A and B are shown apart, each in its own frame.
Chain A
Amino acid sequence: MSWIHDDRGSALVLTLVIAPLLLVALAGVLQLGALRVASARVRAAADLATLVAVNDQDDAELARSGTLRLAADAADVAREFFARELALSAPLLDRAADDIAAGADVVAYPSAPAYDARTGARYDRPTVRIAADVPVRTPIFGALVLRPVTILHVLAVSSPR
C-alpha cells in the first residue's frame, strides 16, 4: 500500500480534473456574456422603438390645444423600429426580426389617463408600450445540456415630456 502515500503525479491528476471544469466555466462565461449583450440589445431595441414612436407628436393638436397627443401611426412606427433595431442583432436571434416584431404586443395610448390591460399600470401621459418575447440563441448552453434557445421577456414604455 505504499502507493497511497506516494504523491508523485498528483498535480498531473489534479490538473486533468480541473481543466475540464475550467473549460466548462469558460464556456459558461462566454455564453452568459453573449446573453447579457443580447439582453441589453433587445431592451435597447424596445426602448428606442417606443421613444421614436412617442417623439412624433400630433402637431396640429399641439398647436390647437397645447396638448401632447401621439401621431395616429405611433403603434405601427414602434413595431417597425422594433423590427429594424432587432435586425441589427440578427445573428443573436433564433427567429427573424420581422417575425418577432410582428408577434410583439404593441399598444399606443394616444390620450391620458389610460390603463394598461396587460400590466395594470396607469399612464398619465400619452404612451406607447411594447411587450415581447424574444428568442435568443444560446448554443453553448445547449451543448451543456441546457436550453439551446433562451426567451427574453422585454417590456418598454415611453411617454413624451
Chain B
Amino acid sequence: MATLETTFAITMLVPLLFSILEFGSALERWLAQDAATVQAARYAGELGGDAPELRVFLAEQLRVAGIDPERVSVDIVPSRVGWREPVRVSLSSAYPVTIPFLFSTTVPLRSSAISRGEVNR
C-alpha cells in the first residue's frame, strides 16, 4: 500500500514541480532574449542596418545572458536602412522543456524590436 501511495504521489507531484521550474526558466530566457533584441535594434539604427559589428555585438549579448548564439536565428529587415527609415530586428530560438512522466517539447521564443536609421548617408 505504501509503495503504491508513494508511486502515485511521485507521478503527481514531480511533473508539477518540474513544470514550475522549466517554464520559469523558459520565461527568464525569453526576457533575456528580448533585452538583447532591444539593444541590437538600437545598434542597428546606429549602424544603418545589418553589419558584422551588429552580429558580434548580438552574439556577445546573448552569450552574457547564457544563451548560445548558434541556436538563435537572427533576422534584420531591411538589411540596409537610410536616415529615418525603420529597421526591425527579430530573434527566434527554441527552448527545450522536459516534464518527467508527461512530455518533452520545445517552446518557441520570439523577440522583435524596431528602431530607426540614424545615419544620414
Residues of A within 8 A of B (CB): 8-9, 11-12, 14-15, 18-19, 22-23, 25-26, 29-30, 33-34, 36-37, 40-41, 44, 47-48, 51-52, 55-56, 59, 77, 81, 84-85, 88
Q: With A9-B5, A48-B41 as given contacts, are A33 and B34 in contact (CB-CB < 8 Å)?
A: no
Chain A residues near B120 (CB-CB < 8 A): 59
Q: With A8-B1, A22-B17 as given contacts, are A55 and B116 in contact (CB-CB < 8 Å)?
A: yes
User: How many angstroms from the CA of A59 to the CA of B92 in the assembled complex?
Assistant: 37
A-B contact count (CB 8 A): 85
Stretch at the interface among B24-32, B56-64, B68-76: B24-32
Q: Is B114 a contact of A15 with CB atoms below 8 Å?
A: no
Residues of B within 8 A of A (CB): 1-2, 5-6, 8-9, 12-13, 16-17, 19-20, 23-24, 27-28, 30-31, 34-35, 38, 41-42, 45, 84, 86, 112-116, 118, 120
Tell me how far the C-beta of B56 lies from the nearest C-beta in chain A, rounded to whole angstroms: 21
A-B contact pairs, 14 of them (CB 8 A): A23-B16, A26-B16, A29-B24, A30-B23, A37-B31, A40-B34, A44-B35, A48-B38, A48-B41, A51-B42, A55-B45, A55-B118, A56-B84, A81-B116
